[in-house]
Structure 1
């Protein structure tokens, strides 16, 4: 098996938000995945640190964890700084975006993550922190852009100073998502044109390209990646994820995935080609009650990436199969299937550790096949 690809999974799939939870999940799950997928090679970690965990860590514990990684042949490749607080076992929904980039708390949290990550990263290497796509679309107004730019510049300046003072290159990776201020690729391009970040900090921001999110938008990998390249927007990392998909009369089967924890945005394509957007599955259900015919619907629900079908619905695995071979080989890849615990019981597969290993192996096999490697 080829190990050249910088490939990991995001630990946000494991419940728990305190630092003790993070450590326990690494011991119980991540090391199991390393043994299965990378027993003889250093294993990258896609670490999710909540704000409570990040501010709980002191210098001694940061140093202890660096030693832990070295002893177990692991290293931190990227941090997920998207969910600020609880992410499992409670109603998350729209609260996952809060505090957003209108709030100085978001900048303070992200700066803290950068300070921690800098201590876990060898000089001369690059790392990333993914973050919310500015804010949820609902309630965002034009007058908020000034606050957003101020707080983003505060963090980008912080990243630049870390680097200039001998630290690693750490980039902020905005993650577009349906129902958010940054949703479609064209909105990402417009955002960078609007922000006009100074040249002194422009290299410290880019994109976390989540394949599930862009597939839900009915975007094509070749088109959106080319649009980002033309605009000079760096893809800092790619989250390898897959969405739900159904066509025609089968669209109603998507409603079985409605659950109370996460927001499951839906985009429906009518038979005339119009795209209708719903913030969550109840909105889709109300539209379907009208009885109007539809062509296809895709839903933001991170499902196991190796599956082309899941029960009576399909997935957007085809997007991954098209997208992955188009990426630069050095692009960090982070599998992010955090919904194992909220899948309908009949559709739950292996243990999380076994499923993660299967997902990482699927990515490697897909890339090896695309690049003619064995």
Structure 2
């Protein structure tokens, strides 16, 4: 199976970087060695935090300079991750990663600036993609307003059409559904895009929105929800929602939690203070119940429904080449199912591996991130191009 002619890569949000120098240091410390080990071109799916974007745009020829740094290292960039806005490696990120949300001018401006930077980094003749958050977080009170978000995204689409006219480069937005967010399920994504298209039509911008606003399909996220990957991909395609980007990622899976005390004990090693690890349980009757985060409290007193569930899945990105983590399983089978379904589309979305949790992964010492990323890329490449 070959989905894209572009080099497979990984998302650099795994590397802390609040300056351009920090971004380049991450490329030298991790990305270049990964490319050397893989033995083929590797794409750097850049994460450029708000301060990095400000620095690039405030520096004369800042985009050209970053492009030159990539070129000197033989690295390709065709997609950015503009989901995390601030410090994604702060001591506590959790729900703050969903701020600013898509009702705010800050999110609109940052996304358009990321797109303008990417237009200057793209390989000749290639389109770009910029992934972003799923409108906002359901746990906020009040939650972000869909109508205001649709207006913002319509304005972004118009800006991206203008960018294409000015640069000749098409850069598309990829909204990334995620557990416990305003867009988490495929059905919620379909409903929102219907509203978005209606809003765009009222503004005379439906053509731009349909061209430049689509989805980032994160395999881990849909697996946590217990969605069938092929069904989800087909539903999006049937509705006319373009998948602009696919993040190849795995979640934790625990079978029969009520009978698997060793598995529940193993999950305690994944309780950590930085990122949100939404935890979902599928019941025998097909219903799915959820907890906003994996905590000691959830594990100590999960409740009758959670204990009686057929399985738990946890939004903790684990290596995509791992079938098991001790007594825990992973959702690795979903990766192949999703990629098989994506291969049936009439176009080729951008692909990247996204395991950003290496720093918080349980273990006896610091992880060998270069070895881990290399193994993930090679395992994914074997799915894409089987012998």
TM-score, with normalisation over the residues of structure 1? 0.92
Q: Is 1:205 aligned to residue 219 of structure 2? A: no
Distance 1:143 1:51 in 2: 21
Distance 1:313 1:239 in 2: 22
Q: Secondary structure of 1:299's partner? A: strand
Distance 2:143 2:52 in 1: 33
Deviation at 1:292, TM superposition (A): 4.3
For residues 7-26 of structure 1, the C-alpha deviation after alignment (integer angstroms, 9 at most, x for no partner) is 11000111232222111000
Q: What is aligned with 2:9?
A: 8
Contact 1:15/1:89 (CA < 8 Å) preserved in 2?
A: no
Q: For residues 107-122 of structure 1, what are the structure 2 equivalents within 5 Å?
A: 107-122=108-123
Q: What is aligned with 2:87?
A: 86
Distance 2:302 2:217 in 1: 30
Distance 1:34 1:281 in 2: 34
Distance 1:20 1:9 in 2: 19
Distance 1:349 1:247 in 2: 29
Q: Is 1:361 aligned to residue 361 of structure 2? A: no
Q: Secondary structure of 1:227's partner? A: helix
Q: For residues 98-109 of structure 1, what are the structure 2 equivalents within 5 Å?
A: 98-109=99-110
Distance 2:53 2:23 in 1: 11
For residues 57-116 of structure 1, the C-alpha deviation after alignment (integer angstroms, 9 at most, x for no partner) is 124232122122223222211000000001114100000010010111000111111111
Contact 2:102/2:136 (CA < 8 Å) preserved in 1?
A: yes
Distance 1:53 1:148 in 2: 25
Q: Secondary structure of 2:77's partner? A: strand
For residues 139-169 of structure 1, the C-alpha deviation after alignment (integer angstroms, 9 at most, x for no partner) is 3658822321221122111111001223300
Q: Is 1:334 aligned to residue 352 of structure 2? A: yes
Deviates more, 1:233-242 or 1:191-200: 191-200
Q: What is aligned with 2:299?
A: 285
2:236 to 228, 234, 239: 228
Contact 2:79/2:130 (CA < 8 Å) preserved in 1?
A: yes
Q: 1:171 to 1:6 in 2, by over 3 A?
A: same
Q: For residues 314-353 of structure 1, what are the structure 2 equivalents within 5 Å?
A: 314-328=329-343, 330-346=348-364, 351-353=368-370
Distance 1:83 1:143 in 2: 17
Distance 2:112 2:170 in 1: 13
Structure 1 stretches of at least 4 aligned residues deviating more than 6 Å after TM superposition: none
Q: 1:303 to 1:19 in 2, by over 3 A?
A: same
RMSD value, Cα: 2.1
Task: List gaps (5 residues or longer) in structure 1.
Answer: none
1:307 to 299, 310, 322: 322
Q: For residues 1-374 of structure 1, what are the structure 2 equivalents within 5 Å?
A: 4=5, 6-39=7-40, 42-57=41-56, 58-122=59-123, 124-139=125-140, 144-196=145-197, 197=200, 198-248=206-256, 249-250=259-260, 252-253=264-265, 254-282=267-295, 284-285=298-299, 287-290=301-304, 292-328=307-343, 330-346=348-364, 351-369=368-386, 374=387
Distance 1:236 1:308 in 2: 27
Q: Secondary structure of 1:288's partner? A: coil
Distance 2:192 2:337 in 1: 26
Number of equivalent positions: 366
Distance 1:90 1:14 in 2: 14
Deviates more, 1:64-73 or 1:278-287: 278-287
Deviation at 1:349, TM superposition (A): 8.5
Contact 1:140/1:181 (CA < 8 Å) preserved in 2?
A: no
